[in-house]
Structure 1
Amino acid sequence: MSDHEQTEEEWAGDFDPFSDPDERRVLFAALDSFRQYRRTAHRNTTHRRRQAFYALPSEHWQMLSEPPFSVLNHFNAVDDAIDVNAEIADAILAVGLESFGLPATPDKDDPNQNWHDTATASDVNKAHSTIRQFYRDWSAEGQVERDVCYEPVLKDLREEFAARSAAGEEIRVLVPGAGLGRFVFDLCLAGFAAEGNEISYHQLLASSWVLNHTAGPAKHALHPFALHFSNLKSRQQQLRSVAIPDTHPGTAIHEAATSGQAIGSMSMSAADFVVLYKQPEQKASFDAVATVFFIDTAPNLIRYIEAIRHCLKPNGLWVNVGPLLWHFDDGHPGQGQAQAQAQGHGQGKEDTDAGIGEPGNVELTEEEVLALVRRMGFEVEARAGDRFCGYIQDGDSMLQNLYRPGHWIARKVEMERAA
């Protein structure tokens, strides 16, 4: 995928958001959530805190308004940081509107055009978390988290396919739950033919912007922790700024090609993973599947394993890194890392398989997951996972939420062998 390809060319699969009213509604809500980012961030972050601050006894808020506290001045600084983040949200929105041929000021009487005021509070929260996710995937500071999650998979794939890659063979790797596209890009730069798959419009819109429309390396500022007021050691910590993208995709690919480095290709499919990759035309299409912080988005993991087995070539490799934070625990979708919510993308009315939107869910332990993987036609060849990492974690925070993600390698085998 070149730096100048447009989004509608990048998003493959059974993907026409205007063909179904529900699909169109989900797209419009995602677009509107980025439009509302600035207003909702100001309202929910500083406006309500000013109200609560002035509700203090007057002698108290006056004391806290003076140095060394200067709380009101800090609220102003947070507002400035929100405006910086909102520039990214506005840029994502502009790219999305252009991609789908939608006007910035729609005709309110046209249901195919009127996307304003369609976002719910949940949609807006997803826009906020998507903006923060650029810290993990596209900043130099997020490298420490990426190294725990992406580097082991890259190492496994390089070792598995070194000889075939050296012989010039194309190695196709599928990345379900591709999010903001960083790992797909890294695989491409490493010489693989990488295909990402994503169901969330928030992630698809944001990944399109960062992969194809950013101004250059470190050209965009982001305040990833500006909206969070708890567990801070200092005010400067909350206002910390990072530059994105740490690596500009177009520039990096051009430089690699110019230097003679063997680079691969990249693409993104917009669809329900289970539905798309169980289609007959996807059978035995990929040499490897790489799931990173993904399998715990499955309400029914069996569906994921069936799709992975279907689209893998004989003897194909499945590499997994991630925790088991089941996002459908108690029937409620969580704020998932891959944000693979059951929004219906790519699910036609005639599909007999409802994908991740089907009823029912179950939470498994890691031992049970691996037993299920073996039962369903895979041989587990290696197992690790002793490294800790955060997820969009402020390393200076007084509260540290850490994962110890599992890491294992499985190979598709004949069912007789697997049994």
Structure 2
Amino acid sequence: MSPEHQHPDGEEWEGGYDPLADPEERRVLYATVDSFRQYRRNAHMNTTHRRRQLFYALPSAHWQMLSEPPFSLLDNFNKVDDAIDTNAEIADAILQVGLQSFNLSPTPEKGDPIGNWQDVATTEDVNKAHSTIRQFYRDWSLEGQAEREVCYEPVLQDLHHEFKTRSDNGEQIRVLVPGSGLGRLVFEVCMAGYDAEGNEISYHQLLASNWILNHTAGPLEHALHPFALHFSNLQSRTQQLQQVQIPDVHPGQAMQAAGSAGQRIGTMSMTAADFIVHYTEPSNQETFDAVTTVFFIDTAPNLIRYIEAIRHCLKPNGLWINVGPLLWHFDGGKNNKTGDAGPEPGIGEPGNVELTEEEVLSLVERMGFRLEKRGDRRPCGYIQDPNSMLQNTYQPSHWVARKVTGA
């Protein structure tokens, strides 16, 4: 396939590949677009409507007591509904970008088997829309900075340690960011002066990153209630209804300001493709100076395939920087597939294997890399409410490996 690209200057979804031409690809895209359309209705139904029914099922004296101050639970349901509507404005904006990007009609004919994208999303698709919108908290809010610093700062420091002098001397350093999600690390690498290429396979992530990178008007323009739909482990209702503003930094304006100030910035692009297939193609052989994998390698059903792709696309002596846990989770490539891998091995290839950190590092060295650095473990959450009574904390592995010359 010819990969599609998106840039902060407004160019997006370029390339010769047409996902609407392939029936399975079209189905996945339509389900993704429809999942953002269904966000508002689904969130109201499954969050507040259901809870109101259960609330009124309590003994009358009980629900009446809890509807009065200081509890005012019925009032809180109304506030959560308002928060859902606020979040749904983001979902609707992503929906509009998706419709425009793929030239889909906002009001398709119900009987059209090809052009009707409505009412095709599954519960799983809608859940992905929910988690994608919450992810803006981590990647594009000021409040999510603590999580980003643990994961992104070590990568930027390692890049500077290896490449800053060369970059300052005018050399173009190409950095690949697979599993780029909502594009924040791609943006940060670009702002650090390197040519950053993100890669993503999920249409949910691609549509959302396209919106935040290319279609927002300015910083702090959009309100988000990241934890409004969660009712457990709360200290207070204020905590549940916390509002943040996104994006904390507007990508286009930040790049323009940096360029005007004489700061060296790199280029930024995004490929929509199966990482394994696209980056083992001959055209990508030895094209990148560094590959940065952040919370990514544990998405591999077969890590050997990922390592082969990284080794293939890295230049001799190129750097592989990794930060992340080993929460092995496999989607099988069936619901997030972008592009037809044909006979080549891709993310949907049968089989999977789960490895320990020791085994991962042994495999990396076995397959043509030299481990050069083991970083400190810095605990962090992932879209974690810092005030929640339940704290899910990772201790990500941080290491740097170099491709052995001739490997």
Among the aligned pairs, what percent are the same residue? 70
User: Which whole-Å CA distance do the structure 1 matches of 2:376 and 2:40 have between them?
Assistant: 39
1:377 counterpart = 2:368: yes
What does 1:220-299 align with in structure 2 at a 5 Å threshold? Answer: 220-299=222-301
Match of 2:323 in 1: 321
Q: CA deviation at 1:241?
A: 0.1
What SS does the corresponding residue of 1:56 show, helix, strand or coil? coil
Q: Is the 8 A contact 1:2 1:250 kept in 2?
A: no
Match of 2:13 in 1: 8
Match of 1:153 among 152, 155, 160: 155
Match of 1:366 in 2: 357
101-110 or 114-123, larger mean C-alpha shift: 101-110
Q: Is the 8 A contact 2:176 2:292 kept in 1?
A: yes
Q: CA deviation at 1:36?
A: 0.2
User: Which whole-Å CA distance do the structure 1 matches of 2:7 and 2:158 have between them?
Assistant: 26
Q: Is the 8 A contact 2:36 2:126 kept in 1?
A: yes
Match of 1:345 among 338, 341, 345: 338
Q: Is the 8 A contact 1:138 1:245 kept in 2?
A: yes
Match of 2:100 in 1: 98
Match of 2:3 in 1: none
Match of 1:337 in 2: none
Aligned residues: 402
Q: CA deviation at 1:167?
A: 1.3
User: Which whole-Å CA distance do the structure 1 matches of 2:8 and 2:316 have between them?
Assistant: 33
1:396 counterpart = 2:387: yes
Q: CA deviation at 1:150?
A: 0.3
User: Which whole-Å CA distance do the structure 2 matches of 1:194 and 1:2 have between them?
Assistant: 11
Q: CA deviation at 1:353?
A: 2.1
What SS does the corresponding residue of 1:316 show, helix, strand or coil? strand
User: Which whole-Å CA distance do the structure 2 matches of 1:289 and 1:185 have between them?
Assistant: 15
User: Which whole-Å CA distance do the structure 2 matches of 1:85 and 1:291 have between them?
Assistant: 29
1:305 counterpart = 2:299: no
What SS does the corresponding residue of 2:347 show, helix, strand or coil? helix
Q: Is the 8 A contact 1:223 1:242 kept in 2?
A: yes
Q: CA deviation at 1:352?
A: 2.1
What SS does the corresponding residue of 1:8 show, helix, strand or coil? coil
Structure 1 gaps of 5+ residues are 335-339
User: Which whole-Å CA distance do the structure 1 matches of 2:311 and 2:368 have between them?
Assistant: 7
1:140 counterpart = 2:131: no
Q: Is the 8 A contact 1:217 1:245 kept in 2?
A: yes
Give the AA of the match of 2:373. Answer: A
Give the AA of the match of 1:89. Answer: A
Match of 1:180 in 2: 182
Q: Deviations over 1:122-156 (max 9, x none)?
A: 00000000000000000000000000000000000
User: Which whole-Å CA distance do the structure 2 matches of 1:115 and 1:269 have between them?
Assistant: 24
Q: Is the 8 A contact 1:15 1:270 kept in 2?
A: no
Q: CA deviation at 1:164?
A: 1.2
Q: CA deviation at 1:347?
A: 2.2
Match of 2:83 in 1: 81
What SS does the corresponding residue of 1:82 show, helix, strand or coil? helix
Q: CA deviation at 1:121?
A: 0.1
Match of 1:195 in 2: 197
Q: Is the 8 A contact 1:33 1:124 kept in 2?
A: yes
User: Which whole-Å CA distance do the structure 2 matches of 1:3 and 1:176 have between them?
Assistant: 18
Q: Is the 8 A contact 1:342 1:357 kept in 2?
A: no
What SS does the corresponding residue of 2:109 show, helix, strand or coil? coil
Q: CA deviation at 1:341?
A: 6.7
Q: CA deviation at 1:2?
A: 5.2
User: Which whole-Å CA distance do the structure 2 matches of 1:111 and 1:287 have between them?
Assistant: 46
User: Which whole-Å CA distance do the structure 2 matches of 1:394 and 1:306 have between them?
Assistant: 37
Q: Is the 8 A contact 2:138 2:383 kept in 1?
A: yes
Q: Deviations over 1:348-393 (max 9, x none)?
A: 4xx2223110110000000000000000000000012321000000
Q: Is the 8 A contact 2:372 2:401 kept in 1?
A: yes
What SS does the corresponding residue of 1:179 show, helix, strand or coil? coil
TM-score normalised by the chain length of structure 2:
0.96
User: Which whole-Å CA distance do the structure 2 matches of 1:383 and 1:111 have between them?
Assistant: 53
What SS does the corresponding residue of 1:155 show, helix, strand or coil? helix
What SS does the corresponding residue of 1:168 show, helix, strand or coil? coil
Q: Deviations over 1:269-319 (max 9, x none)?
A: 001100110111110010000000000000000000000000001110000
Match of 2:399 among 408, 411, 414: 408
Structure 2 gaps of 5+ residues are 1-5
Cα separation, partners in 2 of 1:3 and 1:343, compared to 1, 3 Å: closer
Q: CA deviation at 1:113?
A: 1.4
User: Which whole-Å CA distance do the structure 1 matches of 2:395 and 2:321 have between them?
Assistant: 16
Q: CA deviation at 1:6?
A: 3.4
Q: CA deviation at 1:35?
A: 0.1
What SS does the corresponding residue of 2:317 show, helix, strand or coil? strand
Q: Is the 8 A contact 2:7 2:213 kept in 1?
A: no
Q: CA deviation at 1:243?
A: 0.3
